[in-house]
A and B are shown apart, each in its own frame.
Chain A
Amino acid sequence: MILLLWVLSFFGQIPEKQDTVSLSEIEVNAAVLERYSQGQKQITWKKEDLSLVGSQSLADLLSVQSPVFIRQYGPGMLASPSFRGTSAGHTAIFWNGMPITSPSLGQSDLTLLPVFAFESASLHFGSNGALIGNESIGGSIHLNSESKFNAGSTFLFTQELGSFGQFNTQAKGRISTEKLIAQSKIYRQFSENNFPFRNLALPETPIQRQAHGQVSQWGFVQDFGWKITSNKKLKTSLWFHEADREIQAPLGSVTQDQQQDQSLRWVMDYEQYAAKSTFQLKTGFVVENQIFNKSLNRTKQFLLGTEWDYQVNPHWFFHLGARFIHQIGELSTYQAVDQRVELFQSVKFEPAENLNLALNLRQISYDDQVQPWIPSLGMGWTFWKKGNQELKLNLSAGKGFKVPTLNDRFWFPGGNPDLLPENSWTSEAGLEWKSGKLSQSLTGYHMSVDDWIIWLPQGNIWSPQNIRKVRSEGIEYQGTFRFPTGKVKWENQWQYSLNRAVSVRKISDNDSSVGNQLPYTPQHQANFSMKAKYQSVYLLLQNSFTGERNVTADNPRTLDAYFLSNLTMGFSEFALGDFKIPIQFRIQNLFNTEYQVLYLRPMPGRSYHFNLSIQL
């Protein structure tokens, strides 16, 4: 706290009256990440991209449109990200700069993050504990609300009806003046999820309907922004989400589990701009209740942080920050409190317009542990430019870390308070080639994760240990091609990723998994999407391929590769008076592919969805 006060008093001396700003006024968090993550692979979805998938979850978005593998336990069930062969807990997730990963579980369920609740999303690949912080081992996900002043007023109501009892309702209203923004959203997403599937656990493998998979979610988001003066801004967002799910049992099980998840998240930023600097003060909390078969687990997380960005001259940029996090776990088997203090520093050097270098550092203390030295270094160099063609080289290396979760340390019985943080090193090199309407990039990476925590049985008790060491290597290729043919505008995007993630240390004398691909980690993934737009009519075909996955690293049992296609047709300009009425019709799993993402967790076949909006 003393440190924080010091930082505050230091920043209090910033000159107040300035007429220009050094960072984008739209989103400081995103702009800082952009500026100092040189050389690292990123994928960003803007508001327009997200509006096409507005009734879906972040899990649906990433599984179709990114190289991140989503481990999904069934439609509407737990879905967790795996970046480059890492586990669900190796992904940091932020909402408006606030970490929202569960302090007890150390991971987030992407099904519980509806795309409708935020306006932009970005993925950062690779370890970058210095810039991003805890859990950024495989990568990080950043979700942001929009806070654009002077953008007018809108109202949007959307209703979607779909197969398997889907009934989604969403409404959004926004007022945005020169000084104020107020945006309210409310949504309800419901699905009976009674999809037919082949029950492999029964003799004759009959086709049955899923009888225990109903999902009901609702929530609201309130965003508020106030431009106090031309260089001072206050913005705040509140997000409540509640989900009630019948947990789909794996084939062969008869469990009838029920799970409720409630979360209340709040974040407030005060931002002050000067000619060459930006100052931000952030506070917020996340309270989460998870009720599994009437057993309540509650966690609370409070954050107080400050950041200062300073541009010395056109070549040098500095960033300083401090963050204090207080976590409280009120779990069914233990109570625990944890506190973390983090300091972070970044420097960007831009010797020429085509060359950027960034160095980031972070120090973190928790419990009685100190991690004093977490660096990352990156470079972006556009080394060739001719006409509308350019080639850019990206290089980066960074360290990632993950503080053991509250459950890892305190779960009773079995929690291990002596655990070390998991840690990783990533290095990557990428080449971007832009050639008019065609752009492509190729990235190669190497990552080593050590002290990877896994829970192992010790007699009758399971207990976590820092035992696994993993090496992950791969290449990622992506491209976009936009062109017109007559009046039709085409937009094509594709990605391919090859990953080899292997355990390099035995976890027991008899462990025979060393050198084999990690469980549930496809070596090959690809997707291809094609969008054609003619005036206000559009047609979008999305295809994704997921390669074979091993159920365990040393077992011959593998899950088949699968290929999925979604077809979307829409008409965006239909109007009745002042009301615009965009309509969309979507077929998911067009070819009715029978597949499992995880062993014995059936996924739905072809489904139809009709989406109608009223926009004012």
Chain B
Amino acid sequence: MKKHLFQSSKLVVILLILFSCTENQPEVPRGEFESGILILNEGAFGSNDGEVFHLDPSTEELKPNIFESANGRPFAGLLQDIVYENDQLYLVANTGKIEIVDAGDFTSTGAVTTDLDQPRSLTVNSGKIFISDYGPYDADFNTPESYIAVVQEINGGGVSKKIPVSRKPEDLISVGKFILVAGSEEGMVEVIDAKQEEVVETIEVTGSPKVFFETNGIIYLYAIDASEVRFYSFNLENFTIASTDIFPISMATGKIASGNDGMLYLIRSSGFPDYVDAVATLSLSNSTVNPNWHEGSGFYGIGVDQIRGEIYLANSNGFQGNGTVTVLDESGNEVDEVEVGRGPSGFLIR
């Protein structure tokens, strides 16, 4: 989800250009999952029953467990993230593996199954995969040995190197031959040179960095703390902070999605003892904020279908069984509701 949501609009544009260019060419068969909405179901802790569902918003057809259907074996992991790169989808299981599938039909094209602990996300750069990983827990439940794992082939294989980074790295984004890493626990952004496979720069930020996204050609970092959310942009020639936008939105989680007209949708949770969740909206361009755009409880993931102007809001329903996805229009009215897999946590919308 996360940054990939923001890239979805780009992808749609690319696809449109691609298809307009090939209009007179013989039709290439399209994979059934090339368009539509991929729903990430994280699965329940200890059960490893994460899976991907596919929803076709035009026909409302929902296909469950598409990894297992395509490959004849269960996904067998907790699905943390899905990353689209070069017609492939990288399914990141925080239980310790990466499955790589064809983006069209979901058949397996490779995997990284050894030497990972708690992978969170990844990026492909210079023909290699860079995987952010919390590393193992120590006796006090800390993760002092977090790293970025390097795999030399884009179709997976063994881990060739682990680059130490600050505790609990989350999202990564590629900028030329460089990779930015959101170090969520220590408020760091590490810059890795993909060729040298080394950290070449470290940027300190306030709050807990969660997600990178690119809008209007600018890379932003979304960071949160108890009372505010921050958006950093960077000078990419020397890796310094270019701008910081601060919004007074309290109790934000790391879940954010980009809508039309620069609108951002992010999930808040009041936590103990009231447990009131809300979707907040804000605009980076005109600084409008609505901290309680949509209220409820159990919100666990968010995505935006920019073409249809629909917001997808996932509810985990306590992980006891199936989750629910509520579809809202841009005014916050409920348009539809779909029952999905266990622990729906995000969307990849194409």
- Residues of A whose CB lies within 8 Å of any CB of B are 200-203, 205, 250-255, 293-295, 413, 454, 456-461, 463, 507-508, 510-513, 519, 551-557, 599-600
Question: When A and B form their complex, which 7 residue pairs have the shortest distance between CB atoms, in order from nearest?
Answer: A252-B76, A201-B76, A254-B96, A459-B271, A456-B318, A554-B321, A510-B324
B269: chain A residues at CB < 8 Å are: 459-460
Report B255 CB to chain A, min CB distance, Å: 12
Contact B275 A203 (CB under 8 A): no
A-B contact pairs, 23 of them (CB 8 A): A201-B77, A205-B73, A250-B76, A250-B95, A252-B74, A252-B96, A454-B318, A456-B319, A457-B298, A457-B318, A458-B271, A458-B272, A459-B277, A461-B272, A507-B317, A508-B298, A510-B315, A510-B324, A512-B339, A513-B320, A557-B49, A600-B47, A600-B48
Q: How far is the CA of A352 from the CA of B339 in the complex (A)?
A: 60
Interface status of B108 (Cβ within 8 A of chain A): yes
Q: How far is the CA of A292 from the CA of B241 in the complex (A)?
A: 43
B137: chain A residues at CB < 8 Å are: 293
Contact A600 B74 (CB under 8 A): yes
B315: chain A residues at CB < 8 Å are: 510
Contact B321 A552 (CB under 8 A): yes
Most B Cβ at <10 Å: residue of A250, A459, A461, A463: A459
Contact B317 A511 (CB under 8 A): yes
Interface status of B342 (Cβ within 8 A of chain A): yes
Extra contacts besides A200-B76, A202-B113, A252-B93 (16): CB < 8 Å: A200-B74, A201-B76, A250-B95, A251-B74, A251-B76, A252-B74, A252-B97, A253-B77, A294-B139, A295-B139, A457-B318, A459-B275, A512-B321, A552-B49, A552-B322, A600-B49
Given the known inter-chain contacts A203-B111, A555-B341, please indicate yes or no for A252 contacting B319, CB distance below 8 A: no
Interface status of B64 (Cβ within 8 A of chain A): yes
Report B224 CB to chain A, min CB distance, Å: 13
Interface status of B257 (Cβ within 8 A of chain A): no
Interface status of B37 (Cβ within 8 A of chain A): no
A519: chain B residues at CB < 8 Å are: 321
Most A Cβ at <10 Å: residue of B139, B269, B275, B321: B321
Contact B320 A459 (CB under 8 A): no
B80: chain A residues at CB < 8 Å are: none
B318: chain A residues at CB < 8 Å are: 454, 456-457, 507-508
B271: chain A residues at CB < 8 Å are: 458-461
Report A436 CB to chain B, min CB distance, Å: 50
- Residues of B whose CB lies within 8 Å of any CB of A are 44, 46-49, 64-65, 73-77, 93, 95-97, 108, 110-111, 113, 116-117, 137, 139, 269-272, 275, 277, 298, 315-324, 337, 339, 341-342
Q: How far is the CA of A459 from the CA of B321 in the complex (A)?
A: 17
A557: chain B residues at CB < 8 Å are: 49, 65
Residue of B with least CB distance to A553 = B321
Most A Cβ at <10 Å: residue of B65, B298, B317: B317
Q: How far is the CA of A253 from the CA of B49 in the complex (A)?
A: 11
A456: chain B residues at CB < 8 Å are: 318-320
Candidates B74, B96, B320, B323; contact of A253 at CB < 8 Å: B96
Residue of B with least CB distance to A600 = B48
Q: How far is the CA of A600 from the CA of B78 in the complex (A)?
A: 12
A510: chain B residues at CB < 8 Å are: 315, 317, 323-324, 337, 339
B339: chain A residues at CB < 8 Å are: 510, 512, 554
Candidates A201, A295, A413, A551; contact of B47 at CB < 8 Å: A551
Q: How far is the CA of A252 from the CA of B316 in the complex (A)?
A: 22
B117: chain A residues at CB < 8 Å are: 254
Q: How far is the CA of A512 from the CA of B337 in the complex (A)?
A: 13
Q: How far is the CA of A555 from the CA of B41 in the complex (A)?
A: 12
Q: How far is the CA of A202 from the CA of B98 in the complex (A)?
A: 10
A202: chain B residues at CB < 8 Å are: 111, 113
Candidates B48, B277, B317, B337; contact of A508 at CB < 8 Å: B317
A251: chain B residues at CB < 8 Å are: 48, 74, 76
Residue of A with least CB distance to B64 = A556
Residue of B with least CB distance to A254 = B96
Q: How far is the CA of A557 from the CA of B64 in the complex (A)?
A: 10
Residue of B with least CB distance to A511 = B317
B277: chain A residues at CB < 8 Å are: 459
Residue of B with least CB distance to A455 = B318
B272: chain A residues at CB < 8 Å are: 413, 458-459, 461, 463
Most B Cβ at <10 Å: residue of A201, A460, A463, A513: A201
Given the known inter-chain contacts A250-B47, A551-B47, A551-B49, please indicate yes or no for A457 contacting B322, CB distance below 8 A: no
Q: How far is the CA of A454 from the CA of B321 in the complex (A)?
A: 13
Most A Cβ at <10 Å: residue of B93, B95, B315: B95
Q: How far is the CA of A474 from the CA of B331 in the complex (A)?
A: 50
A507: chain B residues at CB < 8 Å are: 317-318, 320
Q: How far is the CA of A129 from the CA of B289 in the complex (A)?
A: 56
A553: chain B residues at CB < 8 Å are: 320-321
Q: How far is the CA of A553 from the CA of B318 in the complex (A)?
A: 13
Residue of B with least CB distance to A200 = B73
